[in-house]
Amino acid sequence: MPLGWIHCNQNVTDATPILARLALEDGTVFRGLSFGATDPGDRGVGEVVFNTALTGYQEALTDPSYAGQILVMTATQVGNYGICPEDVESECPQVAGFVIRERSAIPSNSRSTDALGPWLASHGIPALEQIDTRALVRILRTSGAMRGVIALGAEATDQELVERAQQSLEMSGRNLAEAASLADDKPWQESLGDWRPMGRMAREPGQEPLRVLAIDCGGKRNIYRHLADLGCDVIRVSPSVTPAEIRDHGPHGLFVSNGPGDPAAVTGLVETLREVAGEYPTFGICLGHQLLALALGASTWKLPFGHRGANQPVSDLERERVEITSQNHGFCVDEASLVAAGCVVTHVHLNDHTVAGFRHVEKPIFAVQFHPEASPGPHDSSHLFEQFVGLMESSRLATS
């Protein structure tokens, strides 16, 4: 063994291992060990989805877009760098449950303040390890994302757990945006600081800030850090905001965030966006991309197993380049309906050629299905925040 290496065959924070199961609605049952909450309460029920990122488990676990979902990581070992408070995307884990192959015995990171298992347990999140995640992901890729149940102990039979999964709510038709919203009507304070993308210049002192009204459907912190880093004053409002309230804020730009659930079920916000479409430069990410498309007259559909990971290739058709992106979504915008609504497809996912971005031909509206804030993920698409700021600056000059 090389000098300086530490080897450990057991998780040092564990007491007696607790047997646990993951039951899928198709009748498949996986057995493993619990390393999260010992009393998950009403958690542990949701749509089972997988993420192919090698790093970024903290960001994924705290991404509100995973509300109502049991997250499976395809990386073989998770928890290596513990939990770093600066890296989470919301106050607490948002997933319904967490499933991995193997948990790292000892986290190694000078910035870490906690280990993965105790942190999940403190927030009541059930988590399983020693699961054959390769076999599990093969099922999800073949049959599509499906409902599942995490259970600890042996109080229920396998068949009872399968029936519970079959009786749980499906993701289609669920409006989860309102409950996931992190809006507080207070000005956003954090910027990127030392994490500013290479080549981006800090905003010059004395420049009048741009007012951005962010409709928060479960937005990630790093999105707002990017906007603040570019000199924007950001106010987050809930998806129940009305057109009159948007106009009362008098923003220079409108942002629509990511979030969980079925976009077609968020009917109130779609109507609001339809009414104000074109009044302000508007940028949408992920669920925001889908909601803006619906507001403009396009339609959406559910992907078989979604796009979730930090290695998703996207073709930027207008810049003629390929970008590697971070994605987390289970619904997609229909291309034909988008074009019929007066929009141009600007980005295409190269794995399945689905729509990954669009802009309206006449209105100052554009959106992408991926996450340019790169948390987690590469920084290839961070320039989209500069594009939004440029659109707002041009609009301000035109109306001054």
CATH number at 177-399: 3.40.50.880
SS3 label, residue 208: coil
Write out pLDDT tens, residues 257-295. 999 999 999 999 999 999 999 999 999 999 999 999 999
Continuous segment of H or E residues that includes residue 69: strand 69-73
Write out pLDDT tens, residues 147-184. 999 999 888 999 999 999 999 999 999 999 999 998 88
Q: What is the pLDDT of residue 148?
A: 98
Q: Report, as an integer, the average pLDDT of 305-324.
A: 97
Q: What is the pTM of this model?
A: 0.93
Write out pLDDT tens, residues 339-395. 999 999 999 999 999 999 999 999 999 999 999 998 888 999 999 999 999 999 999
Active-site entry in 47, 89, 323, 373: 373
Q: Report, as an integer, the average pLDDT of 297-313.
A: 96
* 373 classed as catalytic: yes
Of 238, 214, 218, 237, nearest to 226 (Cα)?
214
CATH number at 18-167: 3.50.30.20
- Percent share of the chain, pLDDT over 70: 93
* 7 classed as catalytic: no
DSSP assignment letter at 127: E
- d(CA 343, CA 360) in angstroms, rounded, equals 4
> What are the structural domain ranges in the chain?
18-167, 177-399
Q: Report, as an integer, the average pLDDT of 38-60.
A: 91
Angle at 281 between CA 277 and CA 287, to 5 degrees: 70
Q: What does DSSP say about strands 146-152 and 45-51: parallel, antiparallel, or unpaired?
A: antiparallel
201 burial via Cβ count (<10 Å: 0-12, 13-18, 19+): exposed
Active-site entry in 129, 217, 232, 286: 286
* 286 classed as catalytic: yes
Active-site entry in 289, 347, 371, 379: 371
Check pLDDT > 70 for residue 308.
Answer: yes
- d(CA 63, CA 69) in angstroms, rounded, equals 11
